[in-house]
């Protein structure tokens, strides 16, 4: 397979999302009549990506993994360079096959599950983007390309958590997950900043190779940045609270995001960082400690849950905590096997949960264990999820909301008045506004002829002065002195033009021109 064609593995789901978007915009793929085309495009793209991953995995088994594959240079400025490259080793190919298989199964499952849903096309657009994002994370040969997939996955998860955007709990849960994950992304950016600053490059093979100019402390700081991003993405303690609020989306999205695939993205990143973690034993001990706390948090939390999704997500946190412990002790191969098997099993459990609820509809739920109920303080802590939600509100959510409110106030009271009315004055900027417009509750006002902002008001004032001048001096009824003078001037100019068009004057002008030249 030519190296350039390798980009089609993550590119096919992206092209599928683009095709569905175009169909929705231009109207040939909307509503129930467009479901068949949407499903066919999404399933076909994921199937082809899976087949390509399987082919690469077979090649790895028979001929050995290609390793780091450079496709083409992307950006270069001085000593800094960024390239588009892939890391095709046993870890990426094996987990890539698992991930592509689960994504294909969930995509096909969703075709019937979301039949006649108003957001059918929207769901498959986001699912295709998520598939592209995860393939980029798994196959990327550099931290920069992986970060693009990292952000695409975060945005996709936000959009599917808020799939039912009319519900306040869904919108709030999506925002909470988005804000918390952005905190982890700062760690990823910090790690890339150190890599660019010291090495001028963030290719994985460069970061894992010899680094004579980097001290052990600098390597540890870079690893710690990436580790923070991994801990937040996989909802490890103390960043565990947001994931239980992220279950507002449809069951297939819960299965593929927080049950099987994206929740393991942080674990996969830590497995990719194996050479750096080997250089920082202290960080390995930190992983062991946080893994133990995550296991305890998930184990105690699952004892008091009364709904199936929350029970499964706390069980997932237990397993990812165990993977963290395995990585901390250096059992990377064991953690990789654990990750793949757990992803498959948890995806099945999430997809099976609606049928399970129907089968056990009349069976009473098991109460919390007696030993836990007797220890009221521990039981209360488990019910309150160890108060991580109020802590998250205090440290992340409320400061972010306050900052957003202040920025909005600055935008509406200062910037809008200086630069002019923003686009939402005559456009639909939110889904809520679109719904109000469809119901006749919102009207779009045209601002043509009305200046806004500092420059707009100035131009409006100048236009009004010219209008006054035209009305008073030129268009005044009965004529004015200036109007009569201009009319006489026009008559004189017409006479001059008529004289110049006569042959004798034309010959005179030609003769004068020749005299000047000669």
Q: Check pLDDT > 90 for residue 14.
A: yes
| Cα-only R_g, the chain | 32
Judge contact between 179 and 157, C-beta under 8 A.
no
Q: Quick check: is 404 in a domain?
A: no
Distances (CA, A) of 125 to 50, 436, 440: 18, 24, 29
Q: State how far the Cα of 104 lies from the Cα of 134, in Å rounded to an integer.
A: 13
pLDDT of residue 403: 79
Taking alpha carbons only, the member of 1, 82, 99, 84 closest to residue 46 is 99
111 within domain boundaries? yes
Q: Considering the domain boundaries, does residue 39 fall inside one?
A: yes
Neighbouring residues of 138: CB distance < 8 A, sequence distance ≥ 6: 92, 95, 96, 99, 268
Residue 33 inside a domain? The answer is: yes
Candidates 131, 96, 95; CA nearest to 341 is: 95
Q: For residues 155 and 396, what is the distance between their CA atoms, to the nearest angstrom?
A: 18
Which of 130-139, 314-323, 402-411 shows the lowest per-residue confidence on average (mean pLDDT)?
402-411
Find the Cα–Cα–Cα–Cα dihedral 413, 417, 419, 424, rounded to 10°.
70
* 158 or 369, greater pLDDT: 158
Name the pLDDT band for 43 (thresholds 50, 70, 90).
Answer: very high
Q: pLDDT of 246-278, one tens digit each?
A: 777 788 888 888 778 888 999 999 999 998 888
**Among 392, 389, 344, 431, CA closest to 104:** 344
Q: How far apart are the first and last CA of the chain?
A: 77
Q: Would residue 269 count as lying in a domain?
A: yes
* Higher pLDDT, residue 183 or 360: 183
CA distance 45 to 16: 6
- Range in 127-136, 144-153, 260-269, 489-498 with the lowest mean pLDDT: 489-498
Q: DSSP letter for 261, please.
A: S
Same-domain check for residues 180 and 326: yes
Handedness of CA 59, 63, 67, 72 (dihedral sign): negative
In a domain, residue 121? The reply is: yes
Cα atoms found within 13 Å of the Cα of residue 340, Cβ hemisphere only:
18
Model confidence over 72-95: pLDDT tens digits? 888 777 778 888 888 888 899 999
Domain enclosing residue 37, as ranges: 3-359+367-378
Least confident residue range of 34-43, 195-204, 428-437: 428-437
Residues 249, 125, single domain; the answer is yes
- Taking residues 306-332, report their average pLDDT: 89
265-272 and 90-113 helices, crossing angle to 10°: 170
pLDDT of residue 145 exceeding 80: yes
Predicted local distance difference test score (pLDDT) of residue 325 = 94
Q: Which two tokens stand for residue 420?
A: 């002019």
Q: Specify whether 488 is located in the same domain as 371.
A: no
In sequence order, what are the residues at sequence separation of 6 or more whose Cβ sits closer than 8 angstroms to the Cβ of residue 297?
Answer: 237, 240, 317, 321, 385, 386
* pLDDT tier for residue 440 given thresholds of 50, 70 and 90: low
Residue 1 pLDDT class (50, 70, 90 cuts):
low
pLDDT, mean of residues 191-208: 86
Residue 315 within a domain:
yes
pLDDT given for residue 174 in this prediction:
82
Q: If you write DSSP's letter for every residue of 6-21 in order, what string do you get?
A: GGHHHHHHHHHHHHHH
Where does the pLDDT of residue 320 fall: very low under 50, low under 70, confident under 90, or very high at 90 and above? very high
Average pLDDT over residues 223-250: 86
Of 378, 411, 445, the residue at which a domain comes to its end is 378
Q: 330 versus 506: which is more confidently predicted? A: 330
Q: How far apart are CA 16 and CA 126, in angstroms?
A: 10
Quote the CA–CA distance of 315 and 309 in Å, as a whole number: 10
Specify whether 371 is located in the same domain as 500.
no
> Looking at residue 319, what is its pLDDT?
92
To 5 degrees, how large is the angle CA 16–CA 19–CA 23? Answer: 140
Within 10 angstroms of residue 403's Cβ, the number of other Cβ atoms is 10
Q: How far apart (Å, rounded) are the C-alpha atoms in residues 393 and 402? A: 11
Task: Give the integer Cα–Cα distance in Å for 170 and 178.
Answer: 12
**CA-wise closest residue to 201 among 134, 149, 141, 148:** 141
146, 288: one domain = yes
Provide the pLDDT for residue 321: 93
pLDDT at residue 439 greater than cutoff 70: no
Residue 349 CB coordination number (10 Å): 17
Token couple for 489: 């001037």
Q: Decide if 141 contacts 69 (C-beta within 8 A).
A: yes
Would you say how long the chain is, in residues? Answer: 518
Cis peptide before 238 (omega within 30 of 0): yes
| 55 pLDDT more than 80 | yes
Q: Name the H helices within 64-142.
A: 90-113, 120-139
pLDDT at site 423: 47
- State residue 269's pLDDT score: 93
The pLDDT of residue 103 is 92
pLDDT at 370 over 60: yes
Look at the block and give the residue holding tokens 């306050």: 402
The reported pLDDT for the residue numbered 137 is 93
Which strand (E) or helix (H) includes residue 430? none
Average model confidence (pLDDT) for the chain?
Answer: 81
Give the ranges where 141-273 is alpha helix by DSSP (H).
Answer: 143-161, 168-199, 204-207, 216-233, 251-254, 265-272
DSSP 3-state of 429: coil
Give the pLDDT confidence score for residue 164 in this predicted structure. Answer: 77
Mean pLDDT, to the nearest integer, of 441-452? 56
Per-residue confidence band for 15, with pLDDT thresholds at 50, 70 and 90: very high
Tell me the DSSP string of 433-464. HHHHHHTT---PPP-TT---HHHHHHHHHHHH
The structural domain count of the chain equals 2
Domain boundary among 316, 351, 378: 378
pLDDT band for position 318 (50/70/90)?
very high
- Maximum mean pLDDT: which of 311-320, 355-364, 395-404: 311-320
Contact present, 227 and 273 (Cβ < 8 Å): yes
**Residue 210 in this model has a pLDDT that exceeds 50:** yes
pLDDT digits (tens, 9 = 90+) for 57-74: 888 888 877 888 888 888
Classify residue 244: in a domain, yes or no.
yes
Per DSSP, the chain holds a count of helices (H) and strands (E) of 23, 2
Residue 485 pLDDT greater than 50, yes or no? yes
């Amino acid at each position: 397979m030519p190296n350039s064609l390798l980009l089609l593995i993550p590119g096919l789901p992206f092209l599928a999302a683009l095709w569905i978007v175009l169909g929705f915009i231009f109207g040939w793929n909307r509503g129930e009549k467009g479901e068949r085309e949407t499903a066919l495009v999404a399933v076909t793209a994921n199937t082809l990506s899976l087949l390509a991953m399987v082919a690469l995995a077979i090649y790895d088994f028979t001929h050995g993994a290609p390793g780091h594959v450079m496709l083409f240079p992307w950006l270069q400025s001085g000593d800094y360079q960024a390239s588009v490259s892939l890391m095709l080793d046993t870890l990426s190919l094996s987990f890539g096959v698992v991930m592509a298989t689960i994504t294909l199964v969930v995509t096909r499952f969703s075709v019937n599950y979301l039949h006649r849903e108003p957001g059918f096309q929207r769901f498959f657009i986001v699912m295709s983007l998520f598939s592209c994002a995860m393939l980029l994370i798994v196959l990327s040969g550099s931290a920069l390309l992986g970060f693009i997939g990292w952000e695409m996955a975060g945005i996709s998860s936000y959009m599917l958590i808020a799939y039912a955007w009319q519900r306040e709990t869904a919108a709030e849960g999506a925002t909470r997950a988005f804000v918390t994950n952005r905190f982890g992304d700062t760690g990823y950016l910090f790690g890339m900043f150190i890599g660019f600053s010291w090495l001028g490059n963030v290719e994985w093979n460069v970061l894992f190779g010899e680094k004579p100019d980097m001290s052990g402390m600098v390597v540890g700081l870079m690893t710690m940045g990436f580790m923070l991003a991994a801990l937040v993405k996989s909802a490890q303690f103390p960043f565990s609270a947001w994931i239980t609020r992220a279950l507002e989306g449809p069951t297939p999205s819960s299965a593929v995001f927080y049950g099987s695939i994206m929740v393991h993205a942080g674990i996969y990143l830590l497995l990719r960082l194996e050479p750096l973690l080997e250089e920082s034993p202290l960080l390995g001990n930190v992983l062991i400690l946080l893994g133990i706390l995550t296991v305890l948090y998930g184990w105690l939390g699952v004892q008091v849950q009364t709904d199936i999704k929350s029970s499964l997500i706390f069980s997932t946190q237990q397993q990812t905590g165990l993977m963290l412990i395995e990585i901390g002790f250096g059992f990377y191969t064991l953690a990789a096997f654990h990750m793949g098997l757990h992803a498959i099993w948890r995806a099945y459990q999430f997809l099976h949960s609606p049928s399970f609820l129907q089968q056990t509809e009349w069976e009473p739920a098991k109460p919390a264990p007696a030993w836990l109920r007797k220890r009221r303080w521990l039981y209360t802590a488990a019910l309150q999820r160890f108060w991580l939600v109020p802590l998250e509100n205090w440290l992340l959510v409320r400061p972010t909301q306050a900052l957003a409110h202040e920025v909005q106030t600055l935008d509406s009271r200062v910037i809008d008045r200086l630069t002019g009315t923003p686009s939402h004055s005559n456009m639909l900027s939110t889904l809520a506004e679109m719904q109000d417009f469809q119901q006749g509750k919102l009207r779009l006002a045209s601002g043509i002829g009305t200046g806004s902002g500092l420059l707009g008001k100035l131009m409006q004032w100048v236009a009004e002065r010219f209008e006054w001048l035209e009305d008073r001096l030129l268009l005044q009824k009965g004529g004015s002195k200036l109007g009569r003078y201009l009319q006489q001037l026009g008559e004189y100019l017409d006479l001059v033009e008529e004289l110049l068009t006569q042959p004798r004057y034309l010959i005179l002008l030609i003769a004068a021109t020749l005299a000047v030249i000669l």
